[in-house]
Amino acid sequence: MGRTFVTLLVYPWDWGPEEGLALDYARRVFEAPGTLYGREGVPFPLAYTPLLPLLLAPIVRIAEEPLLPARLLALAWTAAAALSLFLLVRGRSGPALGLVAAALVLAPRDFSIWFLLVRVDGLMIALWLGAAVALLPARLERGADALSNARLWTGAALLLASVLTKPTAAVHGAPLVLGWFLVDGRSAWRLTGAMLASGLFAVAALQLATGGGFMWTMQLWGAHPASLALFKFLVSSFVANNGLLIALVVVAIVLAWRRGERPFRDAAWILVLGGLAIVPAMAKVGAWTNYPLPLYCALVVLGARLWPTTPPLAVLVPAALGIALLARPFPLPTPADAATSAVLYDFVRERGRPILATRPDYAYVFVHQPIEVEGSSFPFLAVAGVPGMQKVLDRVRGRHYRVIVAVAYFWPNHPAFVEALEGYEMAAECTLGYYYGRTVFVMFVPRGEGARPPAPPAGARCVTYAAAPDSAPTAP
């Protein structure tokens, strides 16, 4: 993983098309705080709770190129998550299996990339796992444990911080609170009271500070439709990609049972329930493989805690799984990816603001403009007629934007938005590389201006189109 960290640290461009979203929110903390929870869709308001933008704000304020220090922060929370996993296993199964557990979470590309990207998932999960270190009871048995004041308030603070990073952490964290009713009633009521009081205070404070914009922004997620096909894909791909891990967890349960233990009393089941709680939300368009990452972490913890600690099985089999996962190629940027991104971003910077980008969000960071729309939400918000979408439509019709960068297949399926593009022509097309593969972006400029990027250098996956002011553009 060392090469992975170094390669991503020095890569000058975003490695996920949504990374600019977090950086833009951080910049607005200082420059336009009133827009973070504005009650319209333009500029796109802060779609999550505010902890990550607050942490990134000093970085964006000081650094001219914020990606490197932001990735160092991501590296820090990745290390914190690995440490929490180690601690959750070490006390039950020893340091060797604790190290194996930490390696198992950092190894597979399907999930470890989510820790390293500059977005909310890694920080949220690191804080959730840290809360588990403090709050996980010794056993799921009446009288097996009780919360001290230090454990209660440390765990509650970390769990609240997790929710203040991404609201879905409340779903993941609920079993950490409710599980105490199986162990110690007094601890359960104290922890429940602390979480309810602090959570209600946080929401009330956010509502007051934003003039009601916080809850208004949260309801924008309702514009995303549900997709049974997406749900089936995410569940089946998780099972297929992690079948060996799931099998080893089952084996660990059986071996623990044969040793005379009571494996279903292990407290790690609380984490498993927290990971499973998000499964229904996988049907929402916008969900992706980051959703089951907490479940993956929980299964690693459960399997490692139940695995036998006597040789030769103690470390041999889990270590072999870790080696197998490490052998899977990790998605890293290449010189061609860098050359392609340079063409797109240099042209965006040359054109200057105002721009409209339906991804990559980093384009807005380049021109110091608040994000006009958010790519994965734009088509749904446009069709739903969310306040602010008419403003975008009018600006496209009026050729207000100096450049439009659009994902080739993700423009609103709405006649008015398609027709509005007639005032623009295609200037270039670039296929940018990201952690999940490649995405085709089309760059539009106002018709008749003739603006084009320079001839792409060798290796760049870009095509420049000749000016053709009399021909109608093709909508992306």
Supply the angle between the helices 120-135 and 293-306 in degrees, to the nearest 10: 30
Q: What is the 3-state secondary structure (H, E, C) of 59-91?
A: HHHHCCCCHHHHHHHHHHHHHHHHHHHHHHHHH
Q: pLDDT per residue over 43-74, tens digit each? A: 999 999 999 999 999 999 999 889 999 999 99
For a pLDDT cut of 70, what percent of the chain falls above it?
94
Angle among Cα 208, 213, 215 to the nearest 5 degrees reads 90
- For the segment 350-379, the average pLDDT, to the nearest whole number, is 93
**H helices present in 136-184, as ranges:** 149-163, 169-178
pTM for the model = 0.94
Using one digit for the tens of pLDDT, what is the confidence trace for 248-304?
899 999 999 999 999 999 999 999 999 999 999 999 998 999 999 999 999 999 999
- Side-chain half-sphere CA neighbours of 414 within 13 A: 16
Q: Is residue 308 over pLDDT 50? A: yes
Positive or negative, the CA dihedral 320, 323, 324, 325 is positive
> What integer best gives the mean pLDDT of the chain?
92
Prior bond to 354 cis, omega within 30?
Answer: yes
The answer to whether 66 and 60 are in contact (CB under 8 A) is yes
472 pLDDT band, cuts 50/70/90, is very low
What is the pLDDT confidence band of residue 368, given thresholds at 50, 70 and 90? very high
Residue 473: pLDDT band (50, 70, 90) is very low
pLDDT of residue 312: 67
Reported as a single tens digit per residue, the pLDDT across 66-125 is 999 999 999 999 999 999 999 999 999 989 889 888 888 887 666 788 998 999 999 999
**C-beta pairs of 185-193 under 8 Å, 24+ apart in sequence:** 186/146, 187/145, 187/146, 187/147, 187/152, 190/147, 190/152, 191/135, 191/147, 191/152, 191/155, 191/156
- Who's near 129: CB < 8 A, 6+ residues apart? 80, 81, 84, 85, 88, 297
Give dist(CA 314, CA 119) in Å, integer: 36
Q: Count CB neighbours of 201 within 10 A.
A: 11
Strand 462-464 to 437-446 pairing: unpaired
pLDDT at site 186: 98
pLDDT single digits (tens) 309-349: 877 667 777 777 766 666 666 788 999 999 999 999 999 99
31 has pLDDT over 60: yes
